[in-house]
Amino acid sequence: MDITEFYQTFFEEAEELLNEMEHLLLDIDIDEPDSEQLNAIFRAAHSIKGGAGTFGFTVLQETTHIFENLLDRARHNELTLDREIIDIFLETKDMLTDQLNAYRNQEEPDPEAFERICNTLKRIAEERVEGGAPKVAAPKPAAQPAAGADAAARVLTLTLTKIEEDEKDTLTEELALFGAIKHSEFSEGTLTVSIETQEPVDDIEAVLCFVLDAGQISIKETSGAEASEPVQSAPAPVAEQPSASAAQPAAKKPEDDKKATAKPAAPKKPAKAGNGSDASLRVSTEKVDQIINLVGELVITQSMLEQTTQGLDPVAYGQLLNGMTQLQRNARDLQEAVMSVRMMPMDYVFNRFPRLVRDLAGKLGKEIELVTVGKSTELDKGLIERIIDPLTHLVRNCLDHGIELPDKREAAGKHRVGKLTLSAQHQGGNILIEVSDDGAGLNREKILSKAQSSGIQISDTMSDEDVWQLIFAPGFSTADEITDVSGRGVGMDVVKRNIQQMGGHVDILSQAGKGSTTRIVLPLTLAILDGMSVKVGDEVFILPLGAIMESIQVKTEEINKVAGQDQVIYVRGEYLPLVELHKVFNVPSAQTDVTQGIVMIVQSEGRHCALLVDQLIGQHQVVVKNLETNYRKVPGISAATIMGDGSVALILDVPALQRISRDRRGESSRSSATVH
């Protein structure tokens, strides 16, 4: 049996176990460690060791073997935990991750790193474990609920069903890794193996689930006295003597109970491939993306049919029109259901930060508590993966620039421990992600001074919101000195650019002495968009619905000219720059008289502006197609879509249009224009 096809399943499940291990190590109370947490960490290491042994990943197996021995001593109070030991355990977890990735890439792990971490673990065992270094076999019996049975005489009977004849030898060899094979028999697709072992039942089952379905596996535990009991109708003469006692129902009943209690242990492990009781199924992202694309094409086709049937007589074609209505409803439900497959909880992102906060806080000499809110809030997988880097930079900024040192916090009347909060929540068709700290807040004067020295146009009358936006300028940094954490002026401009590329925007709120909040607003998905179709000349554009504030018609007295030929309109006490789309995209035959067209008030990046269009067509949901991939990047356009009549409509990039408008007017005319 070729077990290489199961490598990917092992890699994914081992990665999940390592992540679980890290979270448990970070959460553990050093002064009063929870036994359940220590047991869970031990089981994770033990399961990885068993799987690594099954697949022949020797270095990974040996590292986890040494690691689990120390963990076993810790859970039996023979090793006193402290911060140094937790740091070493976390370093070991990182090393296991590196080794796993090496095997994933069909490479051998770094031998020097392997030797270094093993020596470190052995040193801890020799210096810190009560009674000396842990023995190799010592941890195993403690993990088993063997009722009064001696560990050395513990025998498991495994019955594996639906086995091909050419698989039995390989499976028997794999089981031999867990202990001594006492008996093995194969008959009519069923392999029965009796093995003397000290391994936990659920761990053996977990490893077997890499190559077999859970329904194919049955494990029965026997005591030392029953170790020589025959398996099924085993012909071995030595087994005939105890078989009489084995036939007595009273003797078998307790063991049946043990089997019943041993089986439920498996669900404690992560989802196993092929387990019929699992509620999840591993599917590659490429397959999901293909389905989403096909559903998108189906929606476009449905839209075309709907437009074709709009002029039909409802009396003569009532049945057809009813069918079209049902098709529209079903297509919408199917679209939403398929999109939900790509949705992932923000927990996937937030779980990366406890380790980062712990390590960086220790490096900076700060005491910081991390709080996460809304971990179950879901976001499209594509956005989840792209939001990690911007959030990482924001978190590092809060730790380095925002939250003060403990002594300084106490002097300011604050608690020594600073609080960093990551939160996520749905807001309409968007997701709102906030990174908040209770630190010193942003320093307005320092930012203005740095901006002026960097040649950035500023004004003393700038609002706080505009001042905070200055930190997104390329190369901007208020750090007094350059460190390996910050100070190079690289990051915040990249954060803003990445958020904008995802169709979102970022704002900053800050209060001196109370802290800062960076707020990111993103669409839930980049595949589907609720938009308003507008017409400019003969061209149709899609304006994202989330950016629209209102649509109005303006009067002549509300229009004013600024530097050059640019115009602003006066709306409710505020002058808004006017972006004439026919000029931006060179559209002929468009409405040039502002008073005769429709002005769309839109919002992005905390600023408002006005877009001039000829007319509004209607609101609908569109399937987003990447324009840059299929054509090229067009300034002011974020993507494209296919309309119901088969024509292509371009989706407007509101932040880009605002930047185009500012570039044309110049930054100085934007901030302090003289209205004529």
What is the CB neighbour count within 10 angstroms for residue 651? 21
Q: Based on the domain organization, do 385 and 473 belong to the same domain?
A: yes
Q: 553 in a domain, yes or no? A: yes
Q: 410 in a domain, yes or no? A: yes
Q: Higher pLDDT residue, 413 or 213?
A: 413
* The Cα angle at residue 183 between residues 182 and 188, in degrees rounded to 5: 160
CB contact set of 213 (below 8 Å; sequence gap of 6+): 274, 275, 276
Indicate the range of 243-257, 532-546, 578-592 predicted with least confidence: 243-257
Edge-to-edge strand list for the sheet holding 598-604 = 548-552, 598-604, 607-613, 574-580, 567-571, 559-561
Q: Based on the domain organization, do 19 and 77 belong to the same domain?
A: yes
Domain total in the chain: 5
Asked if pLDDT for residue 514 goes beyond 80, the answer is yes
Q: What is the pLDDT of residues 195-232, one digit of tens each?
A: 888 777 776 776 777 667 777 888 887 654 444 443 33
Provide the residue range defining the domain that includes 232: 151-268
Q: Shortest CA distance to 584 belongs to which of 646, 532, 632, 650?
A: 650
Q: Based on the domain organization, do 503 and 396 belong to the same domain?
A: yes
Q: What is the pTM of this model?
A: 0.60
Q: What SS3 state is found at 44?
A: helix
Q: How far apart are CA 441 and CA 516, in angstroms?
A: 5
Would you call 232 exposed, middle or buried from its count of C-beta atoms within 10 A (0-12, 13-18, 19+)?
A: exposed
End-to-end C-alpha distance for the chain, whole angstroms = 84
Instruction: Give the amino acid at 544.
Output: P
Q: 568 in a domain, yes or no? A: yes
Q: Shortest CA distance to 139 belongs to which of 41, 267, 16?
A: 41
Q: What is the pLDDT of residues 312-356, one digit of tens each?
A: 888 888 899 999 889 988 888 888 888 788 888 898 889 889 988
Residues 192-229 as b/e (b if ≥16 CB within 10 A, e otherwise) read bbbbbbbbbbbbbbbbbbbbbebebbbbbbbbbebbbb
Q: What SS3 state is found at 65?
A: helix
261 pLDDT tier (thresholds 50, 70, 90): very low
Q: 506 in a domain, yes or no? A: yes
Q: What is the pLDDT of residues 109-127, one digit of tens each?
A: 988 988 898 888 888 888 8
Helix count and strand count (H, E) for the chain: 23, 22
Predicted local confidence at residue 670, as pLDDT = 41
Asked if pLDDT for residue 481 goes beyond 60, the answer is no
Asked if pLDDT for residue 416 goes beyond 60, the answer is yes
- Final residue belonging to a domain, choices 243, 268, 293: 268
Handedness of CA 281, 287, 288, 291 (dihedral sign): negative
Q: Based on the domain organization, do 232 and 323 belong to the same domain?
A: no
What is the CATH number for 360?
A: 3.30.565.10
Predicted local confidence at residue 665, as pLDDT = 58
Q: Based on the domain organization, do 644 and 620 belong to the same domain?
A: yes
639 pLDDT tier (thresholds 50, 70, 90): confident
Strands annotated E in 360-449: 368-373, 378-380, 418-427, 430-437
Q: Higher pLDDT residue, 643 or 413?
A: 413
Q: How far apart are CA 370 and CA 262, in angstroms?
A: 38
Q: What are phi and psi of 356, to 5 degrees?
A: -60, -45
Q: What is the pLDDT of residues 643-659, one digit of tens each?
A: 877 788 899 988 788 87
What stretch of H or E contains 344? Answer: strand 343-345
Q: What are phi and psi of 147, to 5 degrees?
A: -80, 95
How is residue 407 written in tokens?
């002594």
Q: Based on the domain organization, do 180 and 129 belong to the same domain?
A: no
Predicted local confidence at residue 424, as pLDDT = 92
* Mean pLDDT in residue range 437-453: 86
Asked if pLDDT for residue 519 goes beyond 50, the answer is yes
Asked if pLDDT for residue 477 goes beyond 80, the answer is no
Pairing verdict, β 528-536 and 615-623: antiparallel
* Residue 595 CB-half CA count within 13 A: 6
Q: 73 in a domain, yes or no? A: yes
Q: Based on the domain organization, do 441 and 472 belong to the same domain?
A: yes
Q: How far apart are CA 235 and CA 622, in angstroms?
A: 71
What is the CB neighbour count within 10 angstroms for residue 520? 23
* The Cα angle at residue 141 between residues 136 and 147, in degrees rounded to 5: 170
Q: How far apart are CA 332 and CA 620, in angstroms?
A: 12
Cα–Cα distances in Å, from 470 out to 37, 445, 493?
46, 12, 10
Residue with tokens 């980049």: 526
* CB 655 within 8 Å of CB 500: yes
Q: How far apart are CA 490 and CA 644, in angstroms?
A: 44
Residue with tokens 């025998």: 155
Q: What are phi and psi of 431, to 5 degrees?
A: -120, 135
Handedness of CA 141, 147, 150, 152 (dihedral sign): negative
Predicted local confidence at residue 46, as pLDDT = 85
- Final residue belonging to a domain, choices 268, 295, 324: 268
Indicate the range of 12-21, 103-112, 129-138 predicted with least confidence: 129-138
Q: How far apart are CA 583 and CA 592, in angstroms?
A: 9
Predicted local confidence at residue 272, as pLDDT = 37
423 pLDDT tier (thresholds 50, 70, 90): very high
| % of the chain beyond a pLDDT of 70 | 80
Q: What does the DSSP 8-state code read for residue 366?
A: -
What is the CATH number for 606?
A: 2.40.50.180
Q: Based on the domain organization, do 380 and 403 belong to the same domain?
A: yes
Indicate the range of 214-218, 530-534, 608-612 predicted with least confidence: 214-218
What stretch of H or E contains 75? Answer: helix 58-75
Q: 107 in a domain, yes or no? A: yes
Q: How far apart are CA 469 and CA 662, in angstroms?
A: 15
Q: Based on the domain organization, do 349 and 337 belong to the same domain?
A: no
* CB 167 within 8 Å of CB 184: no
What stretch of H or E contains 448? Answer: helix 444-453
Q: How far apart are CA 22 and CA 660, in angstroms?
A: 46
Q: Based on the domain organization, do 468 and 407 belong to the same domain?
A: yes
Q: What SS3 state is found at 356?
A: helix
CB contact set of 481 (below 8 Å; sequence gap of 6+): 487
Q: How far apart are CA 146 and CA 154, in angstroms?
A: 8
Pairing verdict, β 528-536 and 539-544: antiparallel
Q: What is the mean pLDDT of the chain?
A: 78
| % of the chain beyond a pLDDT of 90 | 13
Torsion, Cα 166 100 351 390, to 10 degrees, reads -120
Q: 61 in a domain, yes or no? A: yes
Predicted local confidence at residue 141, as pLDDT = 32
Q: What does the DSSP 8-state code read for residue 278?
A: -
Instruction: Give the amino acid at 552.
Output: I
Pairing verdict, β 539-544 and 648-652: parallel
* CB 397 within 8 Å of CB 440: no
Residues 443-470 as b/e (b if ≥16 CB within 10 A, e otherwise) read eeeebbebbeeeeeebeeebeeeebbbb
Q: Based on the domain organization, do 665 and 534 belong to the same domain?
A: yes
* Mean pLDDT in residue range 572-593: 87
* Mean pLDDT in residue range 605-634: 82
What is the CATH number for 133?
A: 1.20.120.160
Q: Distance from CA of residue 644 to its chain's centroid?
A: 35
Q: Higher pLDDT residue, 311 or 95?
A: 95
Q: How far apart are CA 341 and CA 336, in angstroms?
A: 9
* CB 606 within 8 Å of CB 507: yes
| DSSP β-bridge partners for residue 637 | 652
* The Cα angle at residue 474 between residues 471 and 475, in degrees rounded to 5: 85
What is the CATH number for 182?
A: 3.30.70.240
Predicted local confidence at residue 150, as pLDDT = 39
Edge-to-edge strand list for the sheet holding 190-197 = 179-187, 190-197, 155-160, 217-222
674 pLDDT tier (thresholds 50, 70, 90): very low
Q: Based on the domain organization, do 38 and 182 belong to the same domain?
A: no
Q: 38 in a domain, yes or no? A: yes
* Mean pLDDT in residue range 368-386: 88
- Final residue belonging to a domain, choices 98, 125, 142: 142
Q: What SS3 state is found at 435?
A: strand
